[in-house]
Structure 1
Amino acid sequence: MRHLLCGLAANPALTPEAIDRLIGVADDDIGAALAGRADLSRTQAVALAARVEASAVRLAYEGRLTAADIDPRTRPVVALALLDQGLGPAGWARLFAADPDPERREKLAACPGLPVDVVATLTADRDVRVVVELASWAGPDTAAALADHPHAEVRRAVATNEATPPAVLGALLVGEGLSAPRRCPGCDRGEQRHSRLSSLGCDGTHESAVHDVRVATLRNAATPAEAVAAFVSAVEHPSTALRWALAGRPDLAAQACTRLASDPVPGVRGELAENPAIDDAVIRTLARDHDPEVRRRLAHHPRVPLDVLRELARTSRIGSTLLPRIATAAAAEVDGLAAAPDPVIRMLVAQRRDLPPAVRDRLVGDADAKVAKSIAAHPGLSERQLRALVDRYGVRVHARVAANPDAPAALLEEVARHEPPARKALREVARHPVATAGALLACLADERARPIVAGRPELESSVVVELLDDADWQVVEAAAANPALPGAVVAELLRRM
């Protein structure tokens, strides 16, 4: 019954009276479905919020509750959600800044637009987790002030914050102009004498924590290029994490890119392979990399030369995906790729969905099944072309043909009724907007397609009612949410609650 009610709660055909009845019995799951309804009135939203805390939080985040609807002392979680949306009064912020529960203070610290006095209170909070949260989201002035905090974890949070002033990020990276940290997570763990983590305690140097601050700073896009350049010796640093973070910097100098291209760790070279900062020489060096994952990631580089890409397609498992370089290829390049002797290249260009008609039609007639599968979902194909693909390649292209937005209803029904069925094709037919009731019935044979079909309003109402007794709860919920479910059945289900 519970799954039926969850489905009913999402049914767009429900009357206001039915919604009221469901609000009266809502639990977290039913409440979640009700909270997602676009037709929920303000009165209903307030009533649902009063009954289900989780729904109240969602409604608060969606702007469907106001401060007048909530008492922060009895509904602190909801009040904090409103504060997080900038919809709570300053008095609430001051109330939670003094709350004995550190989790509430921590949640408050992430809220925007806090009063200056509240920020000052949170900055001096006795629980470092609260200060860490504040440092992660604070504005430039507060972030700058916390960069010299005695606890290294607070500094690491400042290092991740993109609002931190560039000069401060530079200081955190190179370690100049700031006092040495006096505490770190290792110190905290070391004090927990009976903890299994006590062996990870700090030796007093806080070296590991300082290292983590530098990694976080390198990963921050707001860290200035000149600071990174001053720290470029990290390419020779024994820390893999530092070199890995450096390899992803889009402002990395050419010399550093060249050195990292020969890094002993494949993950570092793989990170570099997708970096837009690398030049043609580094791209060609990485194209000869012995690690297949490095070469695969290089294939996704937006500026990889097409001759290099052809070689990568031959030596790497790229899969049938639209690569950035192919997505931006000029018309003449597209024409050349579509005529390439390697079918993998033709398959890759066939992934584009904006091909000129002449190129598209040439690929539809391709003799390689991989190419045919890639082009089968391209918009603009005629029924004749789609049927030719099905006739030539059979079930191998059924799923992609069924995914074509221009596939006609009659062809979808033939694909759905094919014996033996292509399971992936049944799922695509189940989603297709022009699928007929007959095609959808055939898709019920696949367990993953059944929940999709159960929610389609094209089904006969009698079929929808039958699916309410399905063994799969997902099918039951989808059928109960189907607007084709007769009103009399809805009324009976509500009566039996």
Structure 2
Amino acid sequence: MNHVLRGLATNAALSSESLDRLIAVADADLAGDLAGRADLRRAQAVALLSRVEECGVQLAYAGLLTTADIDPAAQPHAALALLDEGSGSPEWARLFAVDPVVEHREKLAACPGLPPDVVETLAADPEVRVVTELALWTTPDMAARLAEHPHAEVRRAVAANEATPPGVLAALITGEGLPPARRCLVCDREETPFVHDPFCPRPDCDLLPGASCDGSHESTVHAMRQSALGNPATPTEAVVGFADHPSTLLRRALAVRPDLPPQVCARLASDPAPGVRADLAENPATDDALIRELADDPDSDVRRRLAHHPRVPLDVLTRLARTARIGATLLPRIAAASSAEVQELARSRDPAARMLLAQRRDLPPAVRDVLAADPDAKVVKSIAPHPGLTEGQLRAMVDRHGVRVLAQAAKNPDGSAALLQHLTRHEPPVPQAFRVIARHRNATAPTLLACLADERARPIAADHPALPPSVIVELLTDADGAVVEAAAGNPSLPLAVLSELVP
């Protein structure tokens, strides 16, 4: 891999002429970087495609290719990507529908807006994986037809398709009104009864661990029910009976549905599996009474997930902040807090409540400033990246709390060049801060030179446009390939050097 060329391929300062020269020597590695350039012209995209066919998919999805630019026989992946975008030729679809390469037919089956005759051809494909892919994405009418397909794997895909009619989804769960499936992926390959060894030693075996069939295709039927339970189009009345199903996976699939009746939520709240209760805890269908019950759950993941519930009462949320590992994240309930609730949280005696509020980045200046002067380091750490804080406030935070808040103070978008340089000189040094400072828009040359001394910050600093051009040139011979690539991609690399580096 040529790290210099890879860096040049992403350099925003690269001239159109230099870009043409890179395209002329591009290999598969380089083509991916070139195809991602925002300034790539259609003629350049066509030239790149003619050199490296593999990049055609990326170019097609980027809107840089048309049907006139692609030969479907020579560049099938690009042609299929254009069909997937709805821009391909119907004749291409007919060509790929009978293509001997199964992967091409499978990709075609996922494309939208296919001609009816192509859909019929794919629905009758002898390869079950092609029909399965069609079943995942097809229209309601075809989904209803494929629900009666003799292969259980196709029915599983129909159960996952949100366009499948509700009545069909209900029938797939119960089996009522549908002829029984005759085959599955397990009995296609093995004599039944068969249970696939989770540690199967066969290198060419692609059956899932534990896949089984005793003639009833039980593992595929289980997967089909799981897909239907996760499908929002499946009627509520068809799924509520799974609250007492012996399969934890099915009960978990049920627990996340936002249409659950209160009595089903109550049943799942006492489920013996913590994963089921955790999924329910985050579900908007869970009411206040159950929220308060789940707040005392012995499982920490249940309590952590409950903190993400959009309607969790603030007093419960504050209690959860003390006992659950919520992390540095803005919770939905905090983001939706009213002005009065913001004031209430800011005045709370509990630092956990103030810390949650400090994750917001749209606080009134008065509230922001109060939290910036908070005596608790966890609160200050949370508020430090908030826009609008002055250099004096940020310096005061670091003076009071040191390494506990320094990296977060460095993230502040309004941090001045002087502050960033000051933070690089802190003793003891904070390695994470160097990585943050190295990508800060206000970092200056002296600050970036300090960041180069940190191994993990070095490639980040090498990419910063404020780095002196002479230093960027020196980094082109660095022992670390990531540093070389970053330096070559730096738009402040002298144009004369950049031009000389292009073959």
| TM-score (structure 2 length as normaliser) | 0.94
Counterpart-to-counterpart distance in 1, 2:351 and 2:328: 12
TM-superposition CA deviations, 1:347-384 (whole Å, max 9, x none)? 11111111222221211111111111111111111222
Farther off after superposition, 454-463 or 306-315: 306-315
Percent identical: 66
Counterpart-to-counterpart distance in 2, 1:7 and 1:195: 42
Structure 2: gaps (5+ residues): 195-199
Q: Which residue of 1 aligns with 2:197?
A: none
Q: Which residue of 2 aligns with 1:27?
A: 27
TM-superposition CA deviations, 1:151-175 (whole Å, max 9, x none)? 1110110111111122211221232
> Alignment partner for residue 425 of structure 1, among 420, 433, 436?
433
> Alignment partner for residue 203 of structure 1, among 210, 214, 238?
214
Q: Following TM superposition, by how much is the alpha carbon of 1:129 offset from its aligned partner in structure 2, in angstroms? A: 0.2
Q: Which residue of 1 aligns with 2:88?
A: 88
Q: Following TM superposition, by how much is the alpha carbon of 1:201 offset from its aligned partner in structure 2, in angstroms? A: 4.7
**Correspondences of 1:466-477 after superposition (within 5 Å):** 466-477=474-485
Q: Which residue of 2 aligns with 1:293?
A: 301
Counterpart contact for 1:338–1:349, Cα < 8 Å? yes
Q: Which residue of 1 aligns with 2:355?
A: 347
Q: Following TM superposition, by how much is the alpha carbon of 1:58 offset from its aligned partner in structure 2, in angstroms? A: 0.9
Counterpart-to-counterpart distance in 2, 1:172 and 1:200: 19
Q: Which residue of 2 aligns with 1:42?
A: 42
Counterpart-to-counterpart distance in 1, 2:337 and 2:343: 10
Counterpart-to-counterpart distance in 2, 1:309 and 1:12: 46
| TM-score (structure 1 length as normaliser) | 0.95
Q: Which residue of 2 aligns with 1:261?
A: 269
Q: Which residue of 1 aligns with 2:14?
A: 14
1:223 to 2:234 alignment? yes
Counterpart contact for 1:437–1:458, Cα < 8 Å? yes
1:105 to 2:113 alignment? no
> Alignment partner for residue 457 of structure 2, among 438, 449, 452?
449
Q: What SS does the corresponding residue of 1:65 show, helix, strand or coil?
A: coil
1:414 to 2:419 alignment? no
**Correspondences of 1:124-143 after superposition (within 5 Å):** 124-143=124-143
Q: Which residue of 2 aligns with 1:66?
A: 66
Structure 1: gaps (5+ residues): none
Q: What SS does the corresponding residue of 1:397 show, helix, strand or coil?
A: helix
> Alignment partner for residue 379 of structure 1, among 364, 384, 387?
387
Counterpart-to-counterpart distance in 1, 2:110 and 2:97: 12
Pair 186,395 (structure 1): closer, same or farther in 2 beyond 3 Å: same
> Alignment partner for residue 241 of structure 1, among 241, 249, 252?
249
Q: Following TM superposition, by how much is the alpha carbon of 1:26 offset from its aligned partner in structure 2, in angstroms? A: 0.5
- Kindly provide the amino acid, as one letter, of the partner of residue 213 in structure 2: C
> Alignment partner for residue 318 of structure 2, among 274, 299, 310?
310
Pair 233,491 (structure 1): closer, same or farther in 2 beyond 3 Å: closer
Q: Which residue of 1 aligns with 2:258?
A: 250
Q: What SS does the corresponding residue of 1:189 show, helix, strand or coil?
A: coil
Q: Which residue of 2 aligns with 1:328?
A: 336
Counterpart-to-counterpart distance in 2, 1:212 and 1:201: 11
Q: What SS does the corresponding residue of 2:328 show, helix, strand or coil?
A: coil
Q: Following TM superposition, by how much is the alpha carbon of 1:324 offset from its aligned partner in structure 2, in angstroms? A: 1.3
Q: What SS does the corresponding residue of 1:187 show, helix, strand or coil?
A: coil
Q: Following TM superposition, by how much is the alpha carbon of 1:243 offset from its aligned partner in structure 2, in angstroms? A: 0.8
Pair 288,419 (structure 1): closer, same or farther in 2 beyond 3 Å: closer
- Size of the aligned set, in residue pairs, is 492
Counterpart-to-counterpart distance in 1, 2:211 and 2:158: 23
Q: What SS does the corresponding residue of 1:186 show, helix, strand or coil?
A: coil
Counterpart-to-counterpart distance in 1, 2:20 and 2:368: 54
Counterpart contact for 1:188–1:201, Cα < 8 Å? no
Counterpart contact for 2:106–2:130, Cα < 8 Å? yes
Counterpart contact for 1:189–1:200, Cα < 8 Å? no
1:400 to 2:411 alignment? no
1:154 to 2:154 alignment? yes
**Higher RCO, Cα 8 Å, sep 6+:** 2
RMSD, matched Cα: 1.8
Q: What SS does the corresponding residue of 2:318 show, helix, strand or coil?
A: helix
Counterpart contact for 1:417–1:439, Cα < 8 Å? no
Pair 200,45 (structure 1): closer, same or farther in 2 beyond 3 Å: closer
**Correspondences of 1:362-377 after superposition (within 5 Å):** 362-377=370-385
Counterpart-to-counterpart distance in 1, 2:45 and 2:386: 43
- Kindly provide the amino acid, as one letter, of the partner of residue 127 in structure 2: D
- Kindly provide the amino acid, as one letter, of the partner of residue 438 in structure 1: P
Greater than 6 Å deviation, 4+ residue runs: 192-195
Counterpart contact for 2:148–2:178, Cα < 8 Å? yes
Counterpart contact for 1:189–1:195, Cα < 8 Å? no
> Alignment partner for residue 319 of structure 1, among 322, 327, 330?
327
TM-superposition CA deviations, 1:415-453 (whole Å, max 9, x none)? 123343211111111121111111111111222222221
